[in-house]
A and B are shown apart, each in its own frame.
Chain A
C-alpha cells in the first residue's frame, strides 16, 4: 500500500454537544468527490465501509428530494438511513436530514462541504443532532462543553488497556 494513505486519515471531532465533525482529504478534484457522493451506483461501492452490502442507494438530488441507503451487514442484520435534501450547491455544499431507521424518532442535519486546492479536495461532514432523544442516544449526550478533552484522556486510558 502507498504510504500516502496515512496522511488521508479521517478525523472525527465533537465540536459541541450536538455536533459530530468528520474531515478527510482526497487526492481528487471536488467535482469527482461530489460525483462519488451523489451517484447511487458509486455510493453502493463505498458506503458499506466493507461491512456488508449496500442493497439500496436512492438519491433524488433536488431540494425536497429524498435519499435512502440500506445495507445488509455481514452479520446478517439490516441497517437503513434516509433523509431529505435541504440545500444543494453542486460540487460544494449539500445539506440534508438524516434519520437512522433503527431510531426513527431522531433526526440529524448533515452538511457536506467540499473545498478544492491544487487538485485535492477536503471533505467535511458536519452532523448536527436536532432532536434531544436522538442526541441522548449518542455519545455526545449531555455534554456541557464538548467531549474532546474527555476523549483525549480516554485515548490514553484505552491505549493502556491494549
Chain B
C-alpha cells in the first residue's frame, strides 16, 4: 500500500485533471501535440509540460513523425493505480462474501430460537 515519497509516479501523474484529459484523448489512439492542444483548448507550453510529466512516469510514449511529435498511451505504466483499487475492492468483496455465510447462520439461529422477533 505504501509508495515512495516521490512526485514522479503514476499516482501523481493522473492527479491532475488536464493530464487525465490527455490520457483520455490518447485512449482513442495516438495523436500529435497540435491535436492535443486543440482537443484540450489550452496553450501548447502547458500541454507540453503535462506531457513531460506523463512521459517521466512512462504513461505516454512519443515518437517523431516528420516534424511532428506523436504521443500515445502506455497502459502498463498506469496499471499500479488500477491494481491498487481493484485489490482493495477484491479484499472487501471477499470479506463481504464471508459475512454472507456468517449472516446466513445468524438468520437460521434466530429463526430456530422462536418467532424470529428479538
A interface list, Cβ under 8 A from B: 5, 8-12, 14, 20, 22, 24, 26-28, 31-33, 35-36, 42, 45-51, 100, 102-103, 123, 136-139, 141-145, 147, 149-151, 153-158, 160-161
Q: A12-B89, A154-B82 are in contact. Are A49 and B107 (CB under 8 A)?
A: no
B92 and A46 form a contact (CB under 8 A): no
A157 and B91 form a contact (CB under 8 A): no
CA A31 to CA B89, docked complex, whole Å: 24
Could you tell me the distance in whole angstroms from the C-beta of A116 to the nearest C-beta in chain B? Answer: 13
Could you tell me the distance in whole angstroms from the C-beta of A39 to the nearest C-beta in chain B? Answer: 9
Find chain A residues with CB under 8 A from B98 CB.
Answer: 45-50
Q: A158-B79, A160-B75 are in contact. Are A20 and B106 (CB under 8 A)?
A: no
Q: A139-B85, A144-B16, A158-B75 are in contact. Are A49 and B99 (CB under 8 A)?
A: no
Find chain B residues with CB under 8 A from A27 CB.
Answer: 100, 103
A157 and B102 form a contact (CB under 8 A): no
Find chain A residues with CB under 8 A from B63 CB.
Answer: none
B75 and A10 form a contact (CB under 8 A): no
A50 and B94 form a contact (CB under 8 A): yes
Find chain A residues with CB under 8 A from B76 CB.
Answer: 161
B1 and A137 form a contact (CB under 8 A): yes
B interface list, Cβ under 8 A from A: 1-3, 5, 11-12, 14-17, 20, 23-24, 27, 73, 75-76, 78-79, 81-86, 88-104, 106-107, 110, 118
In the assembled complex, 29 residue pairs joining A and B whose CB atoms fall closer than 8 Å, in A order, are A5-B100, A8-B96, A11-B89, A26-B99, A26-B100, A28-B103, A31-B118, A32-B103, A32-B107, A46-B99, A48-B95, A49-B91, A49-B94, A50-B94, A50-B98, A51-B91, A51-B94, A137-B1, A139-B11, A139-B85, A141-B15, A142-B12, A144-B15, A145-B17, A151-B85, A153-B27, A157-B79, A158-B86, A161-B76
A151 and B17 form a contact (CB under 8 A): no
Q: A10-B92, A50-B98, A150-B20 are in contact. Are A26 and B82 (CB under 8 A)?
A: no
